[in-house]
Every structure is written in C-alpha cells, then in structure tokens.
Amino acid sequence: MSFKTTILAAIAAVSLVAPAYAEGLMVTDSYARSSSPVAKAGAAFLTIENHGEDDTLIGASSDAAKRVELHTHIKADDGVMQMREVEGGMPVPAHEGLKMKRGGYHVMFMGLNEPFVQGETITVTLQFEKAGEMVVEVPVDLERKPEMKMEGHDHEHKHGDDESHSHSD
C-alpha cells in the first residue's frame, strides 16, 4: 500500500474539479438543482472555505437565469418557511467559511434561460465584499439529497428492488 500513490490520486481527483480561489476563499463543494426538468427556477448550494480574513458574499450573477439572488429561508409568523433575499449578504467568517444548504442559504436562479440538466455545469460569478469576484463552475446535481434533518415527509424509503435485509445501517 502506497501512501504516495494515494496522495497523487487525491490530487488528481481534486484537479478534475478545479477549485476556484480568491484571496483565501475556496469553494470546496457546490451543486445546483431544480425541482423538476421544466422548473423555471433553481438553486445552487456552495461550501466556501475561508483561509483569509472575514468576508461577506454580497452578490451572485449567472447567464443561466434572468435573475440571480442570494436567498435564505426564514420561518414566518405563521410557522411556514419562506424564502427571501438576504439583506447585507451572507457572512463568510475567517476559518468558519460558509456552508449553504437546503432550507437555509442558497443562490437562487429565477427565470432559467435553459432547464438545469443533470451532469452539466452552470457558471456563477460570486461577488465578495473584500475578495471581489470569483467565478465558479457549479455542477447540476438533481439527485443530491438534502443534508438538513429529515422531517418525516422528506424521508425516502426504497421499496421493491432491494431485497437484502441482512445488512445493518
């Protein structure tokens, strides 16, 4: 077993999806999705590492949609979750970075110029308060599951084609 080979393989794998850098900022995970193939809107979720100073994501733009906004979900007075534009941007603190996720921060695409297609990428330009612009290629992944806590109705059970009950998970 070669440790060196493992490292080289890891570097090669990372190089395939060239990470975008800007002043200590690095997007380490990102994906975009829409709720259906004919959806007029979509969202992207990015994980941004910050090895520099405190920064703020203040805007995003893309040719993929007529409007791109930074959104978050908030719980309205009636308890219903609503999306709304983030005022003042998304904080990207040094060391902590920013992790967008379903039900929270996301980049919203309204009026898609073309439907999101599994396996394709969309180009998004991020605007940071201090670091300036960073262009990222965001892969479309319509199959990615939410990382937020399961809330019953979100829980998907697989039936029929999986007959193995012997494994434990």
Closer Cβ to Cu ion, 99 or 130, answer by number: 99
Q: Which of residues 68-87 bind Cu ion (CB under 5 A)?
A: 71, 83
For residue 126, give the DSSP letter.
Answer: E
142: left (phi over 0), alpha (psi -120 to 50) or beta: alpha
Closer Cβ to Cu ion, 17 or 83, answer by number: 83
What Å distances lie between residue 87 and 58, 96, 105, CA to CA? Answer: 9, 20, 12
Task: State the Cα–Cα distance between residues 68 and 124, nearest whole angstrom.
Answer: 9
Total residues interacting with Cu ion, rule: CB under 5 A: 3
Stretch 5-34: interaction string toward Cu ion, x if CB under 5 A: ------------------------------
Closer Cβ to Cu ion, 26 or 68, answer by number: 68
- CB neighbours of 127 closer than 8 A, spacing ≥ 6? 57, 58, 59, 60, 61, 133
Among 20, 70, 108, 131, binds Cu ion (CB under 5 A): 108
Half-sphere exposure of 147 (CA within 13 A, CB side): 9
Closer Cβ to Cu ion, 32 or 108, answer by number: 108
110 scored as a contact of Cu ion (CB under 5 A)? no
CB of 107 to Cu ion, least distance (A): 8
- Tell me which stretch binds Cu ion (CB under 5 A): 64-72, 124-132, 143-151, 156-164: 64-72
Tokens for 139, please give them. Answer: 């892969």
Chain contacts with Cu ion (rule: CB under 5 A)? 71, 83, 108
